[in-house]
Each structure stands twice: as structure tokens, then as C-alpha cells.
Chain A
Amino acid sequence: MHPTDFTLRGAIDALNEGVISSVELTQAHLDAIAALNPRLNAYITVTGERALEQARASDARRKEGLTGPLEGVPLAIKDLFCTAGTLTTAGSRILGNFTPPYESTVSANLLRDGAVFLGKANLDEFAMGSSNTTSASGPVENPWSRANDPDARLVPGGSSGGSAAAVAARLALGATATDTGGSIRQPAAFCGIAGIKPTYGRCSRFGIVAFASSLDQAGPVARTVEDCAILLKSMAGFDPKDSTSADVPVPDFAAACARGVRGLRIGVPKEYRLEGTPPEIEALWEQGLAWLREQGAETVEISLPHTQYALPTYYIVAPAEASSNLARYDGVRFGLRAAEPGSDLRDLYERTRAQGFGAEVRRRILIGTYVLSAGYYDAYYLKAQKIRALIKRDFDEAFGNVDAIVTPATPSAAFGMDEKQDDPVKMYLNDVFTVTANLAGLPGLAVPAGLDAQGLPLGLQVIGKSFDEETVFAVGAAIEQAAAFTALPRLRAGA
């Protein structure tokens, strides 16, 4: 067995049993990155020397009997998490030369638990996108390809496309990611892996480059549901440095994966049956519900009546918050500065931001600025906040009657790199099934459940009650077990 084929759980066991050292495991992943990253572009920065240093330190700790929960496990870190002393670009020209002097809380938690960082994973610029084609470091390629058209290069989804592609191609055992409207779950589904956006407040946002602060949450992507549970346990926890961090205990998520679904009531929202959804996705959804019934769950039709308004609501709230958050990039304190000889301060701001931000980021800042501007605030932003409250109320009412909700993860399988690039709204529709969980602050997990006719992975989504990730993991693991998803991408280490 090639060392990059371990699951994260399997690697932890192998390290504990002395079958492999962290240095060997890390070197195998660095070799895989060297071989495949030039094609996939999943990493923006590879920190090979530092990774081996961390691995040696981990092996030394282990000899002394000090082993953290992630001792010696090599991971990829989305390039939105500040890593002290390592370039952190957010996929943007404007942060192209930014080296943070501090560490994000989530990545610090992983280091505390013994993890090794292989490098910084590519992403859509400022996490704005569903295809990982907006990165200043270039697009990421999905390691999967269509059986009948293997030369067509597909997107890995976004914004955490580098994280998902790296994990799917076995260039990391797991990765951090972030999700503002679907940016963990959609790329996980497109790349045939698992990923969870936890409840808002579960993971600290401190040190994560901000996009839309009331929606952003960090979470893991990994090749199994249990691996996600192990990573989330380390990433999560109260942090006084984030005013929205929840001071609640972090349960043993991995133990919850084995709970089973007997007696659970699973909601099936009728509004998620969209016209134009491919029949394969409808069929997979039905199959997933049948698997859960076979394992003792009951499935119940529910109604989430404001579902159709979720995406347009999101495209007011998220750009509004982004326009405010991204005001800090002004060419003065850090990042790119663009000025002409004789530029005054205002001209410096305007040139810096025009040259530093890519087209999609500029577009969202302009929309956000407009919906917050005098005279339009009530008609757009306040209206959207009210509809957001109605969307949350829909979930509150549904969860009075069910324990979890199961839906498709995405309305399609991975698409070609040249598709959907002409119309921003068409790209936004990728998040139709995922964005509601962000607006309501709820946990959502994507789990690979099958293949389409072209051999591309399709995922199902499990949405849970606030701070009830345990039930989400139980349902996700039950689907995973029944699906027995063993298909592999064409581009992968050891292939």
C-alpha cells in the first residue's frame, strides 16, 4: 500500500503502531505533490522543508510518548487561513506578498494537536467562486475526468477547490476549508470526498481572511466522514479572539459516526426538487433516503417555503459584508500598492483596488456597496436580512419534527473549466442546495454517494440542527457505509 492511500484514521493508526513515521508519510505526500501539483495546481505554496521539520519534531515527540490526536499527520491548509511566517494570499493579487506575523486559531489548534502542514491550498479569490477559476494563482483542475471525454479539464468546485482536489488526488490526508455559501460542500461533492461546514460559531474565524463574516465558517475536507469528524474535533472550540465563537463543549464527533440512524426522522424538503435537476441526482437522492430507511430511519416530507429566495438573499448579504470587510485592502498597511507618480491618496486607493482585485471580487464589492448605499439600504439589505430570518424560521419549524435533513449536495456534477464563465448568475446557482445552511447558521455535510453516467462523483448533503453535528455525522456515515463509494479519480498519487 502506498502511504498516500491511507485514510486519516488509517494513518493515525499506522503511526501509532510504528508501521510508518511522520517523516516517511510527509515525504510521500511531498513527492506526490511534486509529481502532480504542476498539473492540478491544488497548492499555491508548498512548504516542504518546514513540513519535514515538523514531521521530525513529531517523530521525536512520539518517542517521548507525547502524541497529540493528529500527531504527525500531513494536511493542506486553505490559503485563506493566516499561517505565521508563511505566505497567505487568499488567492488574490492584492495579498500576493502578504506573510502574516500571526497564526489563525484553527491552524494553531491543528498544530497544537501535532499536525504537519504541507502547504497552502489554492482557492477562488477571497473564497468568492464555485469553480476555483478566479484565483490569482490560476485555476485548479479536478483530478476526476469524464469517462467518455477524459481530455476535458473539469473544475474542482469552489471556493475550496485546492483543498478538495489535493485530498481527492492524495496530495494530503485532509485539508482545512471554509464555507460561506457552499465552498466546502460543493467542491467536496465535485471531487468525491466528504466535507462539513459546522454550525456558525463552532470554529473560530480569528485569522481567517474575512469574506462575509455572518456566513463564513471553517471546516475540514477529507476522504471519509470519520476523517472529517477527527479533524473538526481539533479545529473547533471556543476562542475569545472571535466575538462570535460559541462557548460550548466540543463533543467526540468521531464516536458519533458509529451511532447509526435507527429511530431518526429524516426530513426531505419538497422545495429542493428543482426543475432541471438531472434525473441521476434525483435518483441518487431517492437511493440515499432508501439506504437510511433500510438502516432504521424514517423519512418525512417537509416544507422549507422560502428556499427559492435563499440565493438572491445571499447575493445581497454576502456582497454587502464583503464590501465592508474588503475595505481594509487600501495599499497602505499591507499587500499590493499601485500608484502613479503624482497619485494622491484617493487615486492610490482606487488604482490599488482596481489592479489588486480580480473581476468577480470587484463585481461583488460594487454590488455590496450599492445595496448598502444611502437610499437603497432598506430596499435591499434590510429586506434580505428579513428574508434571512424567514429562512431560518423555516428550518426551526422543520426541526421541530425531524432530526436531520437530507438533500442533494449540488445541482450537477463537476463541469468543464470553460463552462458557466459568461454569466455570473449561472455560476451562483451552483450553491442552490448549500446556501440555506449558511444563512441559517446550521451544520451541513457533503458525502460522496455515487457516480453519474460519465463516472463523475455525486454527493448528498446532510443538514442538522444548530450544534448537533453529531447527528449529521451519524447520518453521513450511514450514507457513506451504504454507498460503499470506492471509485477513484484518474489523477492521483500512486496511480
Chain B
Amino acid sequence: MSLDIATVRRIAALARIRLEEGELAQAQAELNGILGWIEQLQAVNTEGVEPMAGGGAVALRPRPDAVTDGGIADQILANAPDRQGEYFGVPKVVE
């Protein structure tokens, strides 16, 4: 399966990565190169195989539903590109 330019544009939009018009063709060629190589997996018989989701053999453990920290707004905001008081600043989203 090979990606057309419109699909590359759609994936980039989903990924929230701006691709300039001039970058689309190269991205298309690279992605198709990788996807073409991955295509060999379709030859593997996986009927009845349970998918492996995690990396470990250990089952995830539950933890108490309790607040374990808080009151650290200054730490959380310390790296904000646009701090406005106790908030992260972003461009206006509601007219």
C-alpha cells in the first residue's frame, strides 16, 4: 500500500506537525520506503495469536485512589513558555 500526497497531508495534520508544500514529496517517499519494508509482516500467519500489548511479564497492579501530591503550581509552571499567573497562556480559543 502506498501513500498519496493527500494522505501524507492528513497524517501530518493528525500528528499536528506542519509540513510545507515543498516538504510533502520527500515525506511521502520516506514514509512509503518504510511502509514498503514493513509490508513483509503481512506474510506472517498470526491466526489465533493474542496480541502482546505491554513489555513486561508482570501484571499491572492497582494502587489506592488517593491524592499523593499537590500544591506545587510553581514547579509545574516553571517551564511554561507563556505563564500567566497560575495559568498556561495560549492564543485565544473562544471568540
B-contacting residues of A (Cβ < 8 Å)?
A: 97-99, 101-102, 199-201, 213-217, 240, 243-244, 246-247, 306, 309, 312-313, 315-316, 323, 327, 330-337, 339, 343-351, 353-354, 357, 362-363, 365-367, 369-370, 373, 379-380, 382-390, 392, 423-425, 438, 441, 466
The listed residue with most B CB atoms (<10 A of its CB), out of A215, A244, A351, is: A244
Q: Which of B1-50 contact A (CB under 8 A)?
A: 3, 7-8, 11-19, 27, 30-31, 33-35, 37-38, 40-42, 44, 46, 49-50
Question: Which residue of B33, B38, B53, B75 is within 8 Å of A312 (Cβ)?
Answer: B38
Q: Is A337's CB under 8 angstroms from B81's CB?
A: yes
Q: Does B67 contact A (CB under 8 A)?
A: no
> Binding site of B, secondary structure by majority: helix, strand, loop or mixed?
loop
Min distance, Cβ A240 to any Cβ of chain B, angstroms: 7
Q: A354-B19, A363-B31 are in contact. Are A243 and B81 (CB under 8 A)?
A: no
Q: A243-B61, A365-B17, A441-B56 are in contact. Are A312 and B88 (CB under 8 A)?
A: no
Q: Does B55 contact A (CB under 8 A)?
A: yes
Residues of A within 8 A of B79 (CB): 97-99, 333-335
CA gap between A165 and B15 in the complex, in Å: 34
Question: Which residue of B18, B56, B78 is within 8 Å of A201 (Cβ)?
Answer: B56
Q: Is A390's CB under 8 angstroms from B15's CB?
A: no
Q: Is B40's CB under 8 angstroms from A312's CB?
A: yes
Question: Which residue of A350, A387, A425 is within 8 Å of B46 (Cβ)?
Answer: A387
CA gap between A370 and B35 in the complex, in Å: 10
Residues of A within 8 A of B61 (CB): 243, 247
Q: Is A309's CB under 8 angstroms from B41's CB?
A: yes
Closest 9 CB pairs of A and B: A385-B51, A334-B79, A337-B81, A214-B55, A350-B18, A386-B46, A389-B52, A354-B18, A101-B75
Q: A366-B31, A424-B34 are in contact. Are A392 and B56 (CB under 8 A)?
A: no
What are 13 A-B contacts with C-beta separation under 8 Å?
A: A101-B78, A217-B55, A316-B38, A327-B16, A337-B81, A345-B93, A347-B18, A350-B18, A367-B31, A369-B14, A370-B35, A383-B44, A386-B44
Can you list, as one digit per residue, whether each of B84-95 has a CB less than 8 Å from chain A (1) or not (0)? 000010110100
Residues of B within 8 A of A388 (CB): 51-52
Min distance, Cβ B64 to any Cβ of chain A, angstroms: 10
Q: Is A332's CB under 8 angstroms from B81's CB?
A: yes
Min distance, Cβ A92 to any Cβ of chain B, angstroms: 14
Q: A350-B18, A353-B17 are in contact. Are A244 and B55 (CB under 8 A)?
A: yes
The listed residue with most B CB atoms (<10 A of its CB), out of A369, A423, A424, is: A369
Q: Is A246's CB under 8 angstroms from B58's CB?
A: yes
CA gap between A348 and B90 in the complex, in Å: 9
With CB as the reference atom, state the residue of chain A lying closest to B54.
A214
CA gap between A259 and B76 in the complex, in Å: 48
With CB as the reference atom, state the residue of chain A lying closest to B62.
A243
Q: Is A424's CB under 8 angstroms from B33's CB?
A: yes
Residues of B within 8 A of A347 (CB): 18
Min distance, Cβ B84 to any Cβ of chain A, angstroms: 12
Residues of A within 8 A of B19 (CB): 354
CA gap between A478 and B37 in the complex, in Å: 38
Question: Which residue of A99, A339, A370 is within 8 Å of B3 (Cβ)?
Answer: A370
Min distance, Cβ A369 to any Cβ of chain B, angstroms: 4
Residues of B within 8 A of A353 (CB): 15-18
Q: Is A386's CB under 8 angstroms from B34's CB?
A: no
CA gap between A343 and B7 in the complex, in Å: 24
